[in-house]
Amino acid sequence: MSELAGILGVLGLLGAVLGTGLAWADRRLRPDTDSVADAIDALLPQTQCAQCGYPGCRPYADAVAAGAPIDLCPPGGQETIRSLATLLGRKPASAGVGQVEPSAGLNAKDLPAKTLLARIDESRCIGCYRCIQACPVDAIVGAAQLMHTVLADQCTGCELCLDPCPVDCIELVSKPAQENERPLRIIARPRNRDPRSAELPCIRCGKCEAACPEVLIPQELLWYARDAAWDEARDHGLDDCIECGLCNQVCPSNIDLLRHFSRGRLAVKAQEQNRAEAQAAKARFDKHQARMLAREAERESRRRHRLDESGDRPWLR
């Protein structure tokens, strides 16, 4: 009996002490709800275009902080999705389109949002100044009655300038993708090459072929690589190259084959990523269209229903 009292006493005491401590801590330590949204807001493009479905960037930031998807911002594009994913440690839900609110009203539907860019057909521009007022990032320059043009670096492809244009001379085009400059070296940097000595032409000696541990034909791959014919290069085994650098070591013409091959890898990778992003953008766009159509259909059916109901009561029409 005294043991039971001891158990109850110890647990009760512990509970009381810890509970009081926690209650005090709870009152002292106010949760800070704003700073997450602040950090998110800083990453958004601040175009206030409302294409995400929220009234502006700050409301969208609040929503993301509360758990909304991070890939709803068309002007920000893939870049913003990536930086939000890093900040919040969340995966962009682009693959699982089912749960993602459709975002972009992309006209060029096969292009990822990142690569879109507005272009003014300058021969048709009447210099009305309306697109300049609409542009949230001041990417359009020009003066009244004079031709306008778009600064490619500033344009986010938000398409806010399309509607105000009275002559429809603005269209969205794809921005040329930037090449990644830094090649990835996996195994070895060849030591016996003198970087100062220039590359000589390939003399087809075949030494690289003999050296390659993956039984590839580096000299052949090199021709494709120089022509940027990556599909052919992959057919001839570019993917199997382990980037060991042995071909560089044996080449009597001092050709940096490895650099060509790792560049090629990056190019292939970028190509594939572009394709995947384009597909994700298309999926988002399709979802958006479907939702719009469904909404329209529902509105129409409701209207019909009302007309049917009205009958001899015209005031319902």
Partner 1 sequence: MGELGLIFVGALVVNNFVLAQFLGLCPFMGVTGQYRPAVAMGLATTFVLTISATTAHVLYNQLLLPLGLDFLRIIVFIVVIAAVVQLTERALRSASPLLHQILGIYLPLITTNCAVLGVALLAIGQTMTFAETVVFSIGAAAGFSLVMALFAALRERLEHARIPRAFEGPPIALVTAGILSLAFMGFTGLAG
Which residues of the chain form contacts with partner 1 (CB under 8 A)?
3, 6-7, 10-11, 14-15, 18, 21-22, 25-26, 29-33, 35-36, 39, 65, 86-89, 184, 186
What does the longest C-alpha to C-alpha distance in the chain come to?
99
Name the minimum Å distance from CB 259 to partner 1: 17
Name the minimum Å distance from CB 238 to partner 1: 12
List, as one string, the DSSP characters of 192-227.
S--TTSPPPPP----HHHHH-TT---HHHHHHHHHT
Name the minimum Å distance from CB 41 to partner 1: 12
Q: 9 or 127: whose CB is closer to partner 1?
A: 9
d(C-alpha 221, C-alpha 247), whole Å: 11
Q: 182 or 191: whose CB is closer to partner 1?
A: 182
Name the minimum Å distance from CB 186 to partner 1: 7
Q: 32 or 153: whose CB is closer to partner 1?
A: 32
Q: 36 or 97: whose CB is closer to partner 1?
A: 36
Residue count (the chain): 317
Neighbours of 286 (CB within 10 A): 13
Residue from 81, 69, 75 nearest 51 by CA: 75
Burial class for 241, CB neighbours closer than 10 Å (0-12, 13-18, 19+) = buried
Name the minimum Å distance from CB 228 to partner 1: 21
Distances in Å between the alpha carbon of 228 and those of 207, 235, 242, 265, 271?
Answer: 23, 13, 19, 11, 12
Q: 3 or 138: whose CB is closer to partner 1?
A: 3
